[in-house]
Amino acid sequence: MHAITVPQPGGPDALVWAEVPDPTPCPDEVIVDVAATAVNRADLLQRQGHYPPPPGASPYLGLECSGVISAVGADVSHHKVGDQVCALLAGGGYAERVAVPAGQLLPVPAGLSLVDAAALPEVACTVWSNVVKLAGLRAGESLLVHGGGSGIGTFAIQLGAALGATVLTTARAAKHEQLRALGAHHTIDYTTEDFVARARELTGDGDGGVDVILDIIGGAYLERNVRTLATGGRLTIIGLQGGRSAELNLGALLAKRATIFATALRSRPLAEKAEIVRRVHDQVWPLVASGAIRPVIDRRMPMAQAAQAHGIVESSDHLGKVLLVTGES
């Protein structure tokens, strides 16, 4: 088979479409013939040599895929050859075939094409596990989504709105109209506005009124995020685009009785990921099937053009997901 390899870490040109050995399934795995995968920020970091896959995972990029099962391991009983699926991966999506633990498989949601289903597993599992499972977002609360135009952001906006929350998001002004169409009640231009003051104004709480914040920035936003939280607020940090460290005023955190979570999905044990996938299937997939949530896809490109796709994602000019599609799709 062929896969995108990274012989030496570097820029987008470090990606090479090459012939590699076929995967073989372990007893609890299936082989998926990949129809499509999606470009995530983690892929860019791995290409640069900053985010190696966990032990035992595929060395190739790609944290999600969709496709058709072509082989099943000896212990797999709930899936069969020919099933159309999408999957959460620890790696390996940038390839024609990938081995997937059976617990990380999801059916293609009703009404969605096989290719477009590749846009969902990573963002759905990441957003649900942080916003719902950890932060406990409830109807009537407020949710601030940083990076609203990203794949994570476009999904989080829709999930928050579907759950009955008031959704605020930061993004460049050019993306605001589209984000409001997805369900964002308020949009904030982070290039020209102070999101702390604006969020307080929009929530009508001068003490800082946002109940839950989903943050992809990290260090550069930490102090401002804490100031933005309401009393009892919850901050979930899932990215470090703005740095790994910052000074934290613990007094401000204590005064607000606030909570900070910092999580990663890729490195979790298989059992934890399987449980997240099950809950996403039960709670999120019906929202996709009903049309309350849809994948937001900026463009679909041949997998052999992965270098160009990485350049697009690095520029942050896209909205939603950039998909890489195999030749057979």
Q: What is the CATH number of the domain that holds 163?
A: 3.40.50.720
Give the residue numbers spanning the domain of 233: 124-262
**What is the structure's pLDDT at 329?**
47
Residues 142 and 241 in one domain: yes
**What is the structure's pLDDT at 11?**
97
**Sign of the CA dihedral 47, 51, 52, 55?**
negative
| pTM score of the predicted model | 0.95
Residues 99 and 186 in one domain: no
Q: Check whether 298 has a pLDDT greater than 90.
A: yes
Instruction: Put residue 291 in one of left, alpha, beta given phi > 0 → left and psi -120 to 50 → alpha.
Output: left
Q: Indicate the residue among 240, 262, 284 that finishes a domain.
A: 262
Rounded to whole angstroms, the Cα distance separating 62 from 168 reads 29
- Number of domains into which the chain is organized: 2
Range scoring the smallest mean pLDDT among 13-17, 48-52, 66-70, 325-329: 325-329
Residues 102 and 139 in one domain: no
Residues 193 and 149 in one domain: yes
Calculate what percentage of the chain has a pLDDT beyond 90: 88
Residues 203 and 215 in one domain: yes
Average pLDDT over residues 194-223: 86
**What is the structure's pLDDT at 241?**
82
